[in-house]
């Protein structure tokens, strides 16, 4: 089995979970004996995870801040701003076109050429940015197409105002695909109800956890708080509507009154940072909040190990890999019920993101009852590593087999 | 021929509602909620009454009417009796009618279905006395045979029951207790002189209680005549076949559409068809048969899970922490002399609260998941610990409570 796979970002040049999930999937598929040709839009360092990697633009190395440049999760407002700024973006200087959509289309044109030159059994495209590439590859090769939904436009906009063009691209990809894979049942339901895709071809393949990473030196703000024996509630994720940073502040407010020794560390950046800082100030919580910026690898591992509770208050979270990361590092977690990860983990607390009191009460319990914290630490660690990327890889391999046999390889 | 001894456990706990941190010091009612669902005790009681207690009692009444030889026995917890009186008085009335026939024995236990024996002998005795009073008040009888919570048993429990005046005691016929011996005889607990021990025949009991509706089971479907043939196959020198199970087996654990009520309705017919077969209550067995031999059970056994030990209620850090916190309040609660505090504390001692905190889900998790009204053991622990925190706040309040 040989797969032509289209991605948009890859660790260490990833802005979030999409890159992490792609790496996990490729690793799991390799363990299952599946060959993957992994295609990325532009020359970038991908570590040693990829045996066979192609770049749509192999000549221009990626420079600058990958996290902001490649961010496929731009809010509608930011996204419009990017469009208007046109070709002045760093990173894609050789690529014609002025907007994110133009880049997506250009990627599809290159994809057709790559597909023509190679031999493979199935095409696999991750999220809307690569769906046109997948479609183009299907058209020239006649091979079956699998699209993988890591997030939908409804998640990215917090179920607010989806961008029409993005929605249409997503829909076209899902309709043309021979198989649609969703990272959770939560996402599957959204794909069926918001996009009207035939439920029979929509399958759930959950993401997986990974062993904990070694901790590097902790970010200064966290080290300082621990030295002062403060309690830390951690937020990890982009500061954007979907992730519920505003709800994090509301919960913090409720906790601060009850446990004044609690501090709140925000690891991530995004379009809502200004709003979040304003809300913190208005709540009189200036002294209780630390903004650590975007953390990765060892630094993030240190944050997970030193914090007391992880809160994922997402408004709409297709999966939520950070919850598995936090738990595998032994961090007791409170996760939004409006998430995919809540389907696969048991040894954590689950709460509706809008139920501030219930969320705060669960966090306070972890802070107040040492036996609870210790049990969540140990059981959570096991729970988060119960299934690995190889399990995900196995399910995908089986799906490829059935898609290929169903379509007669066409 | 052995006699059939039927004993049914009838119990409902006062489940602690979702009791958040922000209720501590504000809300002293831990057990009633307006919210619908698995933690609404009144709602659950009425559901179980409809599905189990009322239809099962109707069948029992018919059977007692039809067969003069038929005998049954019940153990009602105090928390069940309170809820029956409050939420479904017709349930209590129908049990009273059964007991009135004189052929349904009522057993003794701890009022709150607690683990008090393991933690406080004083509290254990208080609860046994409380239960004895409640049984006398409701049924006009005095229990003669004792069953400890979840059949938690050891020599020490038997010795204590003997000291409290009981003539018999009931335990699980677990393999590690019995070894090569049969559960179908009367034994004498080690270290006792007068009390007799009756052991559950767990194979035949569990055929009804657990396997009845299991289609994966070779003997499915289980019919009354098939079951009677198994009873008839028991060694004819045996004294009794002790079938002990939760009463909720009928209609709640095994739903009506499994045919469990039909099975029950025909069972006495099929048993009595065989010449020499009959039924007996635990007291009748104890009175009629001398113990065959001594039974030495130094370590605790119970009827729970595959382990049949105490690990369903204690042993994980959450359970141990909650148990320690609860029993630490014994002295201050009793010293306060406040009836509502003592009553609330007692309800918090019910073993079910600790069962809900059990985390050993992956081995025999299904049973725990089924009986757990909380989303997770963590939720169970938090509501429970917050309620205890409120109780400590009440104790700390000076001048007592106005609503007491």
Q: What is the CATH number of the domain that holds B146?
A: 3.20.110.20
Whether residue B349 sits in one domain with residue B233: no
Q: Is the predicted pLDDT of residue A348 greater than 80, yes or no?
A: yes
**Which is more confident, A209 or A285?**
A285
- Residue entry with tokens 């017919």: B269
**Which is more confident, A342 or B372?**
A342
Whether residue B9 sits in one domain with residue B138: yes
Minimal CA separation from A248 to chain B, in Å: 18
Whether residue B165 sits in one domain with residue B261: yes
Domains in chain A and their CATH numbers?
Answer: 2-208+388-407 (3.40.50.2000), 220-384 (3.40.50.2000)
Q: What is the pLDDT of residue B49?
A: 98
Minimal CA separation from A23 to chain B, in Å: 30
Evaluate whether B9 touches B247 at the Cβ level (below 8 Å). yes
Evaluate whether A99 touches A74 at the Cβ level (below 8 Å). no
Least-confidence region, from A59-73, A244-258, B235-249: A59-73
Q: Is the predicted pLDDT of residue B144 greater than 50, yes or no?
A: yes
Residue B359: its chain A contacts at CB < 8 A?
347, 375, 379
Q: Domain limits at B332?
A: 317-396
Q: What is the pLDDT of residue A158?
A: 78
Q: Is the predicted pLDDT of residue B42 greater than 60, yes or no?
A: yes
Q: pLDDT for A264-301, tens place per residue?
A: 999 999 999 999 999 999 999 999 999 999 998 899 99
Whether B304 maps to a domain, the answer reads: no
Confidence of residue A84 (pLDDT cuts 50, 70, 90): very low
Query: A317 in helix, strand or coil?
Result: strand
Confidence of residue B368 (pLDDT cuts 50, 70, 90): low
Q: What angle do CA B283, B287, B291 make, to 5 degrees?
A: 105
Confidence of residue A92 (pLDDT cuts 50, 70, 90): very low
Averaged pLDDT, B223-232: 95
> Of the candidates B265, B295, B325, which is a domain's last residue?
B295
Task: State yes or no: is B150 an active-site residue.
Answer: yes
Confidence of residue A232 (pLDDT cuts 50, 70, 90): very high
Q: Is the predicted pLDDT of residue A86 greater than 50, yes or no?
A: no
Going by C-alpha positions, the residue among A260, A261, A268 that lies closest to residue A244 is: A268
Q: pLDDT for A112-166, tens place per residue?
A: 999 998 999 999 999 999 999 999 999 999 999 999 999 999 998 877 788 999 9
CB contact under 8 A, A365 and B386: yes
Quote the pTM value.
Answer: 0.91
Put simply, whether A337 touches B (Cβ < 8 Å) is no
**Which is more confident, A111 or A76?**
A111
Q: What is the C-alpha to C-alpha distance for residues B80 and B111, in angstroms, rounded to an integer?
A: 9
Put simply, whether A389 touches B (Cβ < 8 Å) is no
In B, what residues contact A, Cβ < 8 A? 18, 20-22, 316-318, 320-321, 359, 361, 375-376, 378-379, 381-382, 385-386
CB contact under 8 A, A371 and B382: no
The phi and psi torsions of A229 (rounded to 5 degrees) equal 60, 40
CB contact under 8 A, A358 and B20: yes
Evaluate whether A162 touches A154 at the Cβ level (below 8 Å). yes
Whether residue B283 sits in one domain with residue B225: yes
Q: What is the C-alpha to C-alpha distance for residues B87 and B389, in angstroms, rounded to an integer?
A: 28
Whether residue B122 sits in one domain with residue B253: yes
Whether B305 maps to a domain, the answer reads: no
CB contact under 8 A, B378 and A372: yes
Whether residue B111 sits in one domain with residue B76: yes
Residue A367: its chain B contacts at CB < 8 A?
none
Minimal CA separation from B401 to chain A, in Å: 25
Is ipTM over 0.85?
A: yes
Please state the domain count of chain B: 2
Q: What is the C-alpha to C-alpha distance for residues B317 and B322, in angstroms, rounded to an integer?
A: 8
Q: What is the pLDDT of residue A235?
A: 98
Q: Which residues contact A61 (CB under 8 A, 6 or more apart)?
A: A42, A43, A44
Q: pLDDT for B99-141, tens place per residue?
A: 999 999 999 999 999 999 999 999 999 999 999 999 999 999 9
H/E element, A100: helix A100-117
Q: What is the pLDDT of residue B5?
A: 98
Q: What is the C-alpha to C-alpha distance for residues B55 and B294, in angstroms, rounded to an integer?
A: 40
Complete DSSP assignment for A196-226: ---GGGEEE------PPPPP-SPPHHHHHHH
User: Which one of B316, B379, B385 has the shortest CB-CB distance to A375?
Assistant: B316
Minimal CA separation from A218 to chain B, in Å: 29
Q: Which residues contact B374 (CB under 8 A, 6 or more apart)?
A: B38, B39, B356, B380, B383
Averaged pLDDT, A170-182: 97
Averaged pLDDT, A75-104: 51
Whether B114 maps to a domain, the answer reads: yes
Q: What is the pLDDT of residue B402?
A: 47
Whether residue B321 sits in one domain with residue B232: no
Whether residue B324 sits in one domain with residue B270: no
List the single residue in A with minimal CA-CA distance to B21: A361
Q: What is the pLDDT of residue A59?
A: 84
Going by C-alpha positions, the residue among B229, B44, B377, B95 that lies closest to residue A371 is: B377
């Amino acid at each position: 089995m040989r797969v032509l796979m289209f991605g948009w970002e890859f660790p260490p040049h990833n802005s979030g979970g999409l890159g992490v999930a792609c790496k996990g999937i490729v690793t799991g598929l390799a363990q299952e004996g599946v060959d993957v040709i992994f295609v990325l839009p532009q020359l970038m360092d991908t570590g040693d995870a990829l045996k066979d990697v192609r770049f749509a633009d192999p000549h221009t190395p990626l420079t600058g801040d990958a996290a902001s440049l490649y961010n496929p999760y731009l809010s509608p407002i930011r996204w419009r701003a990017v469009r208007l700024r046109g070709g002045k973006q760093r990173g894609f200087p050789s690529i014609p076109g002025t907007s994110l959509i133009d880049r997506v289309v250009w990627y599809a044109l290159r994809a057709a050429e790559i597909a023509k030159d190679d031999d493979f059994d199935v095409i696999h495209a991750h999220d809307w940015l690569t769906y046109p590439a997948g479609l183009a590859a299907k058209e020239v090769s006649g091979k079956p197409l699998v699209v993988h939904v890591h997030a939908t436009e409804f998640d990215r906009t917090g179920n607010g105002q989806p961008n029409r063009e993005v929605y249409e691209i997503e829909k076209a990809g899902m309709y043309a695909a021979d198989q649609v894979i969703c990272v959770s049942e939560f996402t599957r339901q959204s794909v069926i109800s918001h996009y009207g895709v035939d439920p029979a071809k929509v399958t759930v393949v959950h993401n997986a956890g990974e062993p904990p990473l070694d901790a590097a030196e902790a970010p200064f703000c966290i080290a300082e708080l621990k030295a002062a024996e403060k309690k830390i509630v951690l937020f990890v994720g982009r500061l954007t509507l979907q992730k519920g940073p505003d709800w994090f502040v509301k919960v913090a407010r409720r906790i601060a009154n009850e446990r004044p020794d609690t501090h709140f560390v925000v690891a991530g950046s995004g379009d809502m940072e200004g709003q979040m800082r304003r809300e913190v100030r208005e709540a009189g919580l200036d002294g209780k909040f630390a903004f650590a910026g975007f953390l990765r690898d060892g630094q993030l591992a240190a944050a997970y190990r030193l914090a007391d509770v992880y809160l994922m208050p997402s408004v709409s979270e297709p999966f939520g890999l950070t919850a598995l990361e936090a738990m595998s590092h032994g961090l007791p977690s409170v996760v939004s019920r409006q998430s995919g990860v809540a389907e696969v983990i048991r040894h954590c607390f689950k709460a509706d993101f809008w139920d501030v009191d219930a969320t705060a009460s669960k966090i306070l319990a972890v802070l107040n009852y040492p036996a609870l914290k210790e049990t969540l630490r140990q059981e959570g660690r096991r729970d988060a590593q119960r299934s690995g990327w190889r399990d995900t890889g196995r399910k995908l391999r089986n799906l490829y087999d059935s898609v290929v046999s169903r379509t007669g390889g066409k | 021929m052995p006699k059939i001894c039927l004993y049914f456990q009838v119990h409902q706990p006062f489940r602690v509602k979702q009791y958040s941190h922000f209720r501590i010091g504000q809300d002293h009612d831990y057990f009633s909620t307006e919210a619908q669902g698995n933690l609404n005790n009144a709602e659950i009681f009425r559901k179980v009454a409809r599905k189990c207690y009322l239809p099962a009692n109707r069948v029992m009444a018919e059977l007692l009417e039809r067969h003069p030889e038929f005998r049954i026995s019940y153990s009602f917890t105090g928390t069940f009796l309170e809820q029956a009186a409050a939420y479904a008085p017709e349930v209590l009335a129908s049990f009273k009618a059964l007991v009135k026939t004189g052929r349904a024995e009522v057993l003794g236990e701890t009022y709150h279905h607690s683990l008090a024996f393991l933690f406080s002998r004083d509290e254990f005795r208080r609860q046994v006395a409380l239960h004895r009073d409640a049984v006398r008040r409701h049924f006009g009888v005095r229990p003669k045979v004792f069953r400890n919570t979840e059949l938690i048993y050891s020599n020490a429990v038997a010795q204590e029951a003997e000291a409290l005046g009981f003539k018999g005691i009931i335990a699980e016929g677990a393999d590690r207790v019995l070894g090569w011996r049969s559960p179908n005889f009367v034994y004498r607990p080690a270290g006792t002189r007068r009390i007799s021990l009756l052991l559950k025949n767990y194979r035949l009991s569990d055929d009804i209680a657990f396997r009845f509706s299991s289609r994966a089971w070779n003997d499915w479907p289980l019919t009354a005549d098939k079951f009677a043939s198994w009873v008839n196959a028991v060694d004819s020198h045996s004294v009794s076949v002790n079938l002990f199970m939760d009463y909720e087996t009928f209609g709640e654990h095994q739903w009506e559409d499994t045919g469990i009520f039909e099975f029950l309705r025909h069972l006495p017919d099929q048993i009595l068809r065989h010449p020499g077969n009959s039924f007996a209550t635990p007291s009748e067995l104890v009175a009629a048969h001398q113990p065959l031999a001594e039974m030495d059970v130094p370590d605790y056994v119970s009827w729970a899970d595959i382990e049949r030990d105490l690990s369903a209620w204690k042993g994980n850090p959450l359970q141990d922490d909650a148990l320690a916190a609860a029993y630490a309040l014994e002295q201050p609660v009793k010293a306060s002399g406040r009836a509502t505090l003592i009553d609330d504390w007692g309800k918090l001692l019910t073993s079910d609260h600790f069962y809900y905190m059990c985390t050993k889900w992956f081995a025999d998790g299904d049973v725990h998941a089924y009986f757990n009204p909380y989303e997770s053991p963590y939720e169970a622990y938090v509501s429970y610990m917050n309620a205890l925190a409120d109780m400590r706040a009440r104790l700390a309040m000076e001048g007592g409570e106005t609503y007491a």
